[in-house]
């Protein structure tokens, strides 16, 4: 059985392998019921490394519980969000679970599971920044993580509120950019930024998007319909048994 501890060991080499092997359409073919699953690296509380050096989080605990419920095995690859999606499109992984929002554009390319979490986008600033509302970002730079719902929301309102965008590749860099004063605010999924604040990060949320988005487990269109069906069946069983709520409560409280 594949364990969460595999991820940190496989991440760097796998990214290089992915880029080198894009021409091989069969590199991620499953062996029986063993699937290769890509995920993000720093997206707490959905996927992150705990104090024991293990990768845990809502996404990973759900995946593990669903795999046990449905009787399949998986190898987990911690790649970062963009690299995981690239690996999926290059057929280097069978699926991606990484706080990935279901939207119309993505549904043209990917088969999504049933939604397993609904999230809004939060806008976070330093408490002593003097910024109290999104309108106060006019003329300032904000930072977002490439390819995320936070970035999409920022892009959709930047002209209305008059701010400039800076793109980075991971959440840790994004937060640090605000904490050091390089950017005025970060746009991030609300439960993610709230989790970091609860753990002591000196940021405060000054705005929340009016509409939310649903997270889903993704596979390439028409490639792994059996895996999506297993994920959905396992997710339903977890909800029915109450184990889904236990996993959510572990990271976000009741």
Task: Report the share of the chain in percent with pLDDT over 90.
Answer: 74
| pLDDT exceeds cutoff 80 at 15 | no
User: Which domains are assigned to the chain?
Assistant: 6-118+214-252 (3.40.190.10), 121-208 (3.40.190.10)
Q: Tell me the per-residue pLDDT of 185-213, one tens digit each, with 9 for 90 and over.
A: 999 999 999 898 988 999 999 999 999 89
pLDDT of residue 252: 87
DSSP strands (E only) in 89-234: 95-96, 110-112, 117-119, 121-125, 141-145, 164-168, 185-189, 204-208, 213-215, 218-220
Name the nearest CA neighbour of 174 among 210, 148, 139. 148
Q: Tell me the per-residue pLDDT of 18-60, one tens digit each, with 9 for 90 and over.
A: 433 333 444 454 455 689 999 998 889 999 998 899 999 999 9
Of 27-31, 39-43, 107-111, 161-165, give the lowest mean pLDDT range.
27-31
Residue positions counted in the chain: 254
Distance CA 168, CA 92 (A): 24
Distance CA 8, CA 79 (A): 9
pLDDT of residue 5: 35
Q: What is the mean pLDDT of residues 130-134?
A: 98
Exposed, middle or buried by CB within 10 Å (0-12, 13-18, 19+), for 201?
A: middle
Cβ proximity of 68 and 2 under 8 Å:
no
Q: Tell me the per-residue pLDDT of 218-244, one tens digit each, with 9 for 90 and over.
A: 999 999 999 999 999 999 999 999 999
């Amino acid at each position: 059985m594949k364990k969460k501890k595999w991820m940190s060991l496989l991440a760097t080499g796998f990214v290089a392998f992915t880029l080198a092997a894009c021409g091989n359409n069969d590199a991620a073919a499953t062996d029986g019921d063993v699937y290769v699953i890509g995920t993000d690296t720093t997206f707490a509380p959905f996927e992150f490394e705990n104090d024991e050096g293990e990768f845990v989080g809502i996404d990973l605990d759900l995946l593990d519980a669903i795999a046990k419920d449905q009787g399949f095995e998986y190898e987990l690859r911690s790649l970062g969000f963009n690299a995981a999606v690239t690996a999926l499109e290059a057929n280097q992984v069978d699926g991606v679970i990484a706080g990935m929002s279901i939207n119309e554009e993505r549904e043209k390319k990917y088969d999504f599971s049933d939604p397993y979490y609904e999230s809004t986008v939060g806008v976070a600033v330093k408490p002593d920044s003097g910024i109290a509302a999104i309108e106060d970002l006019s003329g300032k730079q904000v930072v977002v993580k490439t390819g995320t719902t936070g970035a999409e929301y920022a892009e959709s309102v930047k002209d209305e509120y008059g701010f400039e965008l800076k793109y980075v590749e991971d959440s840790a860099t994004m937060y640090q950019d605000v904490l050091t004063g390089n950017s005025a605010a970060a746009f991030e999924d609300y439960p993610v930024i709230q989790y970091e604040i609860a753990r002591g990060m000196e940021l405060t949320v000054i705005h929340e998007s009016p509409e939310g988005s649903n997270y889903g487990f993704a596979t390439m269109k028409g490639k792994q319909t059996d895996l999506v069906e297993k994920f959905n069946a396992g997710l339903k069983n977890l909800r029915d048994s109450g184990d889904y709520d236990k996993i959510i409560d572990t990271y976000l409280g009741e």
